[in-house]
Amino acid sequence: MFFAISNILMLSCLIYSRGNQSYAEGQLTKAEECYTHGIDSFSPNEASKKALMLCYSNRAATRMSLGKMREALSDCREAIGIDSSFLKAQVRAAK
């Protein structure tokens, strides 16, 4: 079981990193796809909550840059639902 969880987290981190790289290169649609794939890859367990929260938050930033404000707000709410003290998602939601 540990091996399976470890592999899932490693894959998720790779997807997250690709999303970050795509965002930094201005490839916003690709970044959005990477974060979405990351979100879809996680199981809702304690081990993956932080990574899931970060994918939602970064997808929100990407969607804001793409002008998809409603979708971005929804992602911010998902991230805040995972960790209500995550300030970055709260700030993005306020924008």
Select the more confidently predicted residue: 7 or 29: 29
Q: Please give the average per-residue pLDDT across 70-88, as a whole number.
A: 92
Assign 2 a pLDDT band (cuts: 50, 70, 90).
very low
Return d(Cα 70, Cα 37) in angstroms, integer: 19
The percent of residues above 90 in pLDDT, for the chain, comes to: 52
List of residues 6+ apart from 2 with CB closer than 8 A: none
Residue 4 class from Cβ within 10 Å (0-12 exposed, 13-18 middle, 19+ buried)?
Answer: exposed
Assign 1 a pLDDT band (cuts: 50, 70, 90).
very low
Assign 91 a pLDDT band (cuts: 50, 70, 90).
confident
The percent of residues above 70 in pLDDT, for the chain, comes to: 82
Position 42 pLDDT exceeds 60:
yes
Please choose, from the candidates 60, 55, 45, the residue with its C-alpha nearest in 3D space to the C-alpha of residue 91.
60
